[in-house]
Amino acid sequence: MSWDKPKSGRQWLVLFVPPAICALSTLAGGLIDPKDGNWMAWSIVGLLIATVMSAGLGIWLARVNSSLSSKIGTAAVCFIILMLVNGAVSFAGCAVGWSTLPTMSFH
């Protein structure tokens, strides 16, 4: 199982686009509607977009393998690694935003 390492700086930057989408969508949601928690929907949308992009990047990185089984295995491993990073970025952004929400008190 091998993967096609990016050869140029632009190709390496493509690997950071899905986590950037997660972080920017959380930031955009926090800037647009910071008070009532609607920003979390932006973070979930960013995570869904990053999921699709991570699948595409996994397939792109696995394209040099000769057999179909090694292509599928490499694509799956790359997808899982990218989704772990995307999930960490997205949920860390949600946790920071969640802690800034005003607490509800019932009187």
- Which amino acid is it at 71? K
Q: For the chain, what percent of residues have pLDDT higher than 70?
A: 74
Residue 23 pLDDT grade (very low, low, confident, very high; cuts 50, 70, 90): confident
Paired tokens of 93: 């952004």
40, 29 contact by CB (below 8 A): yes
Convert 29-46 to b/e letters by CB count within 10 Å (16 or more is b).
bbeeeeeeeebbebbebb
Any idea where the domains of the chain sit in the sequence? 9-98
Please tell me which residue, 46 or 73, carries the higher pLDDT value: 73
Angle at Cα 51 formed by Cα 47 and Cα 57, nearest 5°? Answer: 135
